[in-house]
Amino acid sequence: MTLAFDLHRWTRDWTPACAFDRLQPLRGVAVLLPDQVQVALFRLADDSLRAVGNIDPIGRAAVLSRGIVGDRNGFPVVASPLKKQAFSLIDGRCLDVDGIRVPVFATRIGIDGTVFVANTPDVRFGRRPEPAVK
């Protein structure tokens, strides 16, 4: 049995952002995806990576990459620099206002240390969900 690896599909699903060692702990950077979506990429204190949409849905500006990274009850969050609402870096929900969330994007590190961000929130664990059969 052979598995076919589709390099073109993989490059459609992932965007290279930067080298891992260029990211500063507890600081964010903005990444522009091919479809003009902005993502805020964060390196946490434990060297894990998190990425969420960069647009603050309350302040309506692309500023989350400049937010303050911290934690609430042990869970990583970023506080918007505009109105200081905290957004979970795990599931994207706003911890201060019910019903508001930002999209969460998968991340991965390549063999050479390049950080990749998924092009859509639908890509999880390196796989795009299969379309529903009708």
Burial of 5 by CB count in 10 Å (0-12 exposed, 13-18 middle, 19+ buried)?
exposed
Structure tokens at 11: 């490059």
DSSP assigned state of 12? H
How far is the C-alpha of 42 from the C-alpha of 25, rounded, in Å? 8
What's residue 62's pLDDT? 95
- Work out the average pLDDT over 87-116: 95
- Work out the average pLDDT over 17-29: 95
pTM of the model: 0.84
| CATH of region 24-118, choose from 3.30.70.270, 2.102.10.10, 3.40.120.10, 3.40.50.11810 | 2.102.10.10
- Those residues with Cβ within 8 angstroms of residue 41's Cβ, 6 or more apart along the chain or in another chain: 17, 23, 28, 29, 30, 31, 49, 50, 51, 65, 107, 115, 117
Q: For the chain, give every domain's residue range.
A: 24-118
- Work out the average pLDDT over 38-56: 96
